[in-house]
Amino acid sequence: MQLLKDKVVFLTGGTEGIGFECAKVFRAAGAQLSIIANCHESIERANEKLNGDDVLYVKADVSKGDEIKNAIEKTVERFGKINVIHNNAGISDPSKPLHETTEEEWGRLFDVNVKGLYNTTRYGINELIKTKGNILSTSSITAEIGQDIHAAYTATKGAINSLTKSMSIDYAHLGIRVNAIAPAGVWTPMLRNWSSQQPDPSSIEKYLDNIHLLGYCPEADVIADACLFLISEQARFITGCIMPVSAGAELGYRTNK
């Protein structure tokens, strides 16, 4: 069964990591894709593996409203509609406590992780009203439990969670669902880059395996499968949900590791 047959998904940050795994899973489920990324090279790499008349790539920075407005217009021009907006684009740098985070670093985190969601909603909501579509954002369990040397990053994910809940209330009468997915660790290029920045990079793989109750840090396909569920009609009665896909990493300390 193709859960996304005849659906059009507007996917930001869809050329690598969680986003690219989502792109593959969504397409296999029957969706047409508009994949947004701000790096020409990453678009080229993704296009080598995932291309066709059912996939549109648009180079755009989610933090810039005019570029997202243009990307929305190009998507509708190509496919005629938008059923789903998946706000997946995000950054995690820097690995610093709050007082060491520069104003530029703070601004960039919020521009990409939070303003990006604002821009896609502002310019895409009218299309979702037409299709009674839905919005999904990629958050993190760190929004709820915190994370050392990442105060600014976790603040952006907390903002995503709050927006998800408030937007679900605002748009429910329009038939629009709004949800978020909250991973713990996931092996992506961004996580590998993050690992190299930590005080003891050699210990990170074991650490990431241990924080997940099921004993390993997953690849991004496990997140993509959960995202597929949330944007499909299988989740038609779910809105305002922050769904952890974390193997129980947020459940607390363990003595029997």
Residue 152: give its domain's CATH number.
3.40.50.720
Flag residues of the chain having pLDDT under 70. 189, 191-203, 252-257
Question: What residues make up the domain containing 70?
Answer: 8-186+219-247
Residue 178 lies in a domain: yes
Residue 113 lies in a domain: yes
Residue 40 lies in a domain: yes
Catalytic residue among 153, 171, 207, 216: 153
The 10s digit of each residue's pLDDT in 45-92 is 999 999 999 999 999 999 999 999 999 999 999 999 999 999 999 999
Q: Tell me, what's the pLDDT at 186?
A: 80
Between CA 20 and CA 222 the distance in angstroms is 12
Number of domains in the chain: 1
Q: Name the strand (E) or helix (H) holding 167.
A: helix 151-171
Residue 26 lies in a domain: yes
Residue 59 lies in a domain: yes
Between CA 214 and CA 220 the distance in angstroms is 15
Residue 214 lies in a domain: no
Q: Tell me, what's the pLDDT at 196?
A: 64
253 catalytic, yes or no? Answer: no
Residue 95 lies in a domain: yes
Would you call 145 exposed, middle or buried from its count of C-beta atoms within 10 A (0-12, 13-18, 19+)? Answer: middle
Residue 108 lies in a domain: yes
